[in-house]
Amino acid sequence: MVDRHVEINRAQEERWLTRYYFIRTAFSAVWVALAFSVGRHFPLFAAALLVAYPAWDALANYVDASRSGGMTKNYAQAINVVISVTITIAVIVALGSNWLLGVFGVWAILSGLLQLATAVRRWRLIGAQWTMILSGGQSALVGAFFLMQTHAPMDFAMTKVAGYAAVGAVYFLVSSVWLSVGQLRRKAACVP
């Protein structure tokens, strides 16, 4: 009976993560498309996109943590929510300055390490988190490169952040597809 309950919870968590990763993919894809099109020509729109990106991450982590057992169970995501909200405020303050890419660098490092911690914890429960582990590690490395380019102008920062978001979208897409394939295989194995 306990094993059946664990399997049901695991299946529900996998379905949730599959949808969550698809939503994260879609948001990032739209964000990147807007950044490389409208954001290049309208500085106010670019600024709004740059503010929206960490704000979205805060919201997404909050919803995921709440859906996956609550903030106290998902401490890495709870910390990530606080950091992403703080970075959203820092981006607003840094708009128009040459510190903008540095702010995103700090965020990429911290949120990447927290994503890595979340993925490692989930790996033990669900598995199929290798892309999120890679994504978290890569995010931290990119953040270090952003910090080295801190004094770049806003249009350069927009291009770098959009590239970073595009790679993140690929990681989320691969994760959602990987989980979907695993679910389909298990369903096929259960059919007589």
Greater model confidence, 146 or 122? 146
Strands (E), the chain: none
Instruction: Grade residue 68 by pLDDT with cuts at 50, 70 and 90.
Output: confident
Residue 2 pLDDT > 90: no
Cα separation of 100 and 104, whole Å? 7
Cα separation of 17 and 122, whole Å? 10
Q: How far is CA 192 from CA 4, 8, 187, 188, 189, in A?
A: 19, 20, 10, 8, 8
- The 10 Å Cβ neighbour count of residue 98 is 15
pLDDT at 3: 67
